[in-house]
Structure 1
Amino acid sequence: MRQTPVSRRTFTKLAGAAGAGALGAGALLTTPTLTGSAQAATPTWKTSGTAVTALQSFDDTMKSFMQARNISAGQLAVTYQGRLVLARGYTYSDDTSLNVTPTSLFRIASLSKSLTAAALNRLAQEGKLALGDKISRYVDLTPPAGQTADPRLANVTLWQLLQHTGGWDRDLTFDPLFYDRTISQSLGVPMELYPENVVQYMNGQPLQHNPGTYVSYSNYGYLLAGRIIERVSGLPYATYVQQKLLTPLGITRMAQGWSIAKHSGEVPYRSQYTGTTVLDDSGATVASPYGTFSMRLHGANGAWIASAVDLVRWASAFDAAGPVLDSSALSRTWAAPGGIGVNPSGWYYGLGWQVRPVTTGGTGRNTWHTGSLPGTYTLMVRTYHGRSWAVLFNQRDDASGLSYGDIDSLLWTAHGKVTSWPTHNLYPNYF
């Protein structure tokens, strides 16, 4: 029996951040300016990767979704029982030089949180820390001169950082990862900010809730997690993730993205909006995907780039104990927030994944995460019956006004139309 789409009708306050708000709502500190259509009026449709007749419903869904929203670049990978059965790139553009392949790279936004949570979990597995440790053990909590730290701040634990229960609530205040100009002026430092600037500023800000009592999606909690990974491992954040999490799975394409420049094979990003740059103090107006937020700040929270095949490969690390995470670490991944548990909508936030226990038509859990930035919309899903998919787009807004979150339920519908799953495995083509 197919479960209700994993995110549709469940994204309330928490996942509003994980969807359009995770790296988006409040991202522009000035009113965005509408710049018109992101593309010319006569794009052409191209596909790449192996077409699979039995999975035509997925191709049809991607085509109709992208054409309705004038999305120029999309990508989808699907697995079945641990095998890669579909890997496709989709191009809808009048730019003949744009050719999305199954290994093209996209910003993945908040899907990055699964990597950061797993890295901290892996350090616990290595005995280098405990998730019950307080952040004061690893982070300098000294506030700016003349300010006083909230006494509750020192009691926030690593668990609470990863499960969004640290006590910060951006809905009541602000998201500091999109507060660049205010932080710059308050500290007297130039933009582009460094993560250390954000930490110093936040050390002087009060918590909105007692730690461990309330779930509120916090990009800042993951920024702190990234600093702790560096402090404990002695390695740059991205280096530790690559060595301990990605290399054991044969994943070599993933990298930290940049605010302006692109990696080889990375797609361009599109938006109908512009805003004021946070990369310097010039006040220049820039395209929203290129400077209205700082990828440097989002390193551990949302700065990874990847292909869809990389992401389903990464998701496979959570299927069973293996070279990345042992059984104890996996149990920690799926644990519900202590003292809070499952929310009234039937799901909760684990370690870098949203989790819905399944009790009808099977046992187990559906797990997922969305990502959103100006110029990016992404979704990664693992199902209770051994399937997974990752879908990536190079924009999250367009003149149509249509929802991008609808891709979740549409892919579940495409999945439900499959009557016979292929027996092939395309992983050797890409790893």
Structure 2
Amino acid sequence: MIGLKQSAVNRQAGWGIASAGGGVHNASLQMRVCCRTMLIATAACCAAWPSAPEGRASALECAGVQCFQKAAGTAALHDAAAKSGPRLVCAAVGSCSPVEGAGPGKAVVSTGKQFPALKPFDELMEAFVRDNELPGASLAVAKDGRLVYARGFGYADVEQQQPVQPHSLFRIASISKPFTAVATLQLVEQGRLRLDTPVFDLLPHKPHLAKGASVDPRLGQVTIAHLLRHQGGWDRKETIDPLFHAIEIATVLGKPPPATQDDVIRFMMGWQLDFDPGKRYVYSNLGYCLLGRVIEQVTGRRYGDYMVNDFLKPLGIESMRLGKTLLRDRAEHEVKYYPKGDRLGIAVTGEAIGAKVLWPYGAWSIESFDSFGGWIASAPDLVRFGSAVDRYSQSGILKKKTVEAMIERPAKGHFGNDEEGKPDATHYGCGWSVRPMKNGTTNRWHTGSLSGTSTILVLRHDGLCWAVLFNTNLTADKKKPSSKIDPLVHKAADAVTAWPSHDLFAD
């Protein structure tokens, strides 16, 4: 998942240090403690720098740059932040007060058709939204390819008291990855790619190299399969997740923020890999960003255009689209997002770059997330896709051999094999988390998380498929809603004694 803690401010407690020569070195324990302490104190730092002297405005620069400065002196990202100029300001946004969702004792508004046989889902969702004080949610359930349940709960827009509808659109965050993975596998089936194709042989990007630096020769070993399985060689805990450093990377490249996907790729091609490709599993947004660019190169089309017209429409998915960052660009039928926890970040896009804004509306650029986390969709959209994957022989979305490759356990990587060489209970295939079942079937799923967003899509071994979407990222007890509700949906599904024969997809 992308994850709330993957933001530039909140997630980089273990930054690596970039030297002037472009090499990446693990920070010493002292430097890691320095970074961790400074980054945790971002709010205090920002308050202490209200006028952004010398252009070093944001809490990120205020904290992170000092770490780089102490460790490397002329670190590339330090230089970038120092040059970012007076356009960066550290200013509070006056309209950022918390918005309460439902609470104990409050009735939860709901929409969509009700069916007595599926009452366990109604009871679950109403209680979950109420007891966890969530603004809104949507649940869709399919059985053997038929949409049997699609309802909304709570509010899409709390201020306007607009209820979530079954067709409401939510940011799905990292559930974008299975879509990109399946589209990539279709190109493999068509003979336009191979799983062992070297990725950087396909891309036109030229690396951005610091003076005296050279490209890591291991980049030539990174394959399509490595990217699909998060084995490309990047470890965001050792260095950074570059997709959340839009200001710094843009400034290094001498461009206005935010950094685009192509900017990020060029920048990271100038860094050393953290491990040999294929050696282990480390979740990588960069890897799926690269897959989006591979799709563009192979098809000759923009990623979003190809996905909408050649991938989604043949599945009957009409409303799904790439999201926009700013609230003013909110799509028709899209919910509003209500962040909890660390609610404010530093704007990387919009009119107030460098100012403090709500995380969902400018503290990252969702336009640059496209192939790894940029889609908005309804719960029925996700279930239609999941059912097509689950019933591949009927839908024709993939061939049996490809599906077997998609869910097979990787030979290496802790998410596929534990340290003693024994298989883990779950593993990551090509775009899916996979749990093998005793009868030879599998459960497959993916979650997504961003500030203001929490999502889950499940393909269960018995022909059930469901998606649950939330427009906030934390429950009242500070847990991710998607993770907390996961076992409860299984329990509700098990409580259904007779599944209806209707199909809401036909509506």
TM-score of the aligned structures, taking structure 1 as reference length: 0.89
Query: What is aligned with 2:368?
Result: 297
Distance 1:114 1:376, change over 3 A: same
2:479, 2:193 → 1: CA distance? Answer: 45
1:421 aligns with 2:489: no
Moved more, 44-53 or 218-227: 44-53
1:72 aligns with 2:135: yes
Query: Cα deviation per residue 1:278-308 (whole Å; 9 max; x = unaligned)?
Result: 1157311111110111112101001111101
1:355 aligns with 2:434: yes
1:400, 1:54 → 2: CA distance? Answer: 31
1:326 aligns with 2:399: yes
Query: Cα deviation per residue 1:230-276 (whole Å; 9 max; x = unaligned)?
Result: 01100111121123321111111000000011111101111131111
Match of 2:346 among 269, 276, 280: 276
Match of 2:377 among 306, 323, 333: 306
SS in 2 for 1:298: helix
Checking the alignment, whether the CA contact within 8 Å between 1:44 and 1:94 is kept in structure 2 is no
Q: What is the identity, as a one-letter code, of the residue corresponding to 2:469?
A: L
SS in 2 for 1:25: helix
SS in 2 for 1:85: strand
Q: What is the identity, as a one-letter code, of the residue corresponding to 1:51?
A: Q
Match of 1:163 among 229, 234, 252: 229
Q: What is the identity, as a one-letter code, of the residue corresponding to 1:427?
A: F
Q: What is the identity, as a one-letter code, of the residue corresponding to 1:323?
A: G
Q: What is the identity, as a one-letter code, of the residue corresponding to 1:310?
A: D
Match of 2:417 among 336, 343, 352: 343
Choose 1 or 2 for highest CA Rg: 2
Q: Pairwise mapping of residues 76-225 of structure 1 onto structure 2 (< 5 A)?
A: 76-92=139-155, 95-140=159-204, 142-145=206-209, 146=211, 147-225=213-291
SS in 1 for 2:4: coil
Q: What is the identity, as a one-letter code, of the residue corresponding to 2:232?
A: G
Query: What is aligned with 2:99?
Result: 38
Query: Cα deviation per residue 1:399-418 (whole Å; 9 max; x = unaligned)?
Result: 54244221111111211222
2:110, 2:172 → 1: CA distance? Answer: 21
SS in 1 for 2:163: coil
Query: Cα deviation per residue 1:63-118 (whole Å; 9 max; x = unaligned)?
Result: 22212232222100011122111111112576454121111111100000011111
2:498, 2:101 → 1: CA distance? Answer: 39
Q: What is the identity, as a one-letter code, of the residue corresponding to 1:331?
A: E
Checking the alignment, whether the CA contact within 8 Å between 1:245 and 1:324 is kept in structure 2 is no
Distance 1:338 1:245, change over 3 A: farther
Moved more, 43-52 or 377-386: 43-52
Query: Cα deviation per residue 1:319-346 (whole Å; 9 max; x = unaligned)?
Result: 2233322223322322322445833431
Instruction: Please state which structure has a larger fraction of its residues in helix.
Output: 2
Where relative contact order (Cα < 8 A, 6+ residues apart) is larger, the structure is 1
Checking the alignment, whether the CA contact within 8 Å between 2:102 and 2:135 is kept in structure 1 is no
Checking the alignment, whether the CA contact within 8 Å between 2:170 and 2:377 is kept in structure 1 is yes
1:41, 1:101 → 2: CA distance? Answer: 16
Deviation at 1:206, TM superposition (A): 1.1
2:160, 2:349 → 1: CA distance? Answer: 31
1:423, 1:401 → 2: CA distance? Answer: 38
Distance 1:94 1:171, change over 3 A: closer
Checking the alignment, whether the CA contact within 8 Å between 2:102 and 2:108 is kept in structure 1 is no
Q: Pairwise mapping of residues 11-50 of structure 1 onto structure 2 (< 5 A)?
A: 18=1, 22-29=2-9, 37-39=98-100, 44-50=107-113
Distance 1:328 1:144, change over 3 A: same
1:235, 1:202 → 2: CA distance? Answer: 24
SS in 2 for 1:305: strand
Query: Cα deviation per residue 1:20-68 (whole Å; 9 max; x = unaligned)?
Result: xx24223142667696532278875211111121221112211222122
Identity of aligned residues (%): 37
1:54 aligns with 2:117: yes
Gaps of 5+ in 2: 10-38, 44-91, 419-423
SS in 1 for 2:392: coil
Match of 2:292 among 218, 226, 232: 226
Distance 1:156 1:107, change over 3 A: same
Checking the alignment, whether the CA contact within 8 Å between 1:271 and 1:396 is kept in structure 2 is yes
Q: What is the identity, as a one-letter code, of the residue corresponding to 2:125?
A: M
Q: What is the identity, as a one-letter code, of the residue corresponding to 1:348?
A: H
Query: What is aligned with 1:6?
Result: none
Distance 1:403 1:303, change over 3 A: closer
Q: What is the identity, as a one-letter code, of the residue corresponding to 1:126?
A: Q
Deviation at 1:213, TM superposition (A): 0.8
Distance 1:80 1:293, change over 3 A: same
Query: What is aligned with 2:463?
Result: 386
1:337, 1:401 → 2: CA distance? Answer: 33
1:85, 1:59 → 2: CA distance? Answer: 13
Query: Cα deviation per residue 1:355-391 (whole Å; 9 max; x = unaligned)?
Result: 11111xx331000000001110000000111111000
Query: What is aligned with 2:441?
Result: 364
Distance 1:231 1:199, change over 3 A: same
Distance 1:86 1:399, change over 3 A: closer
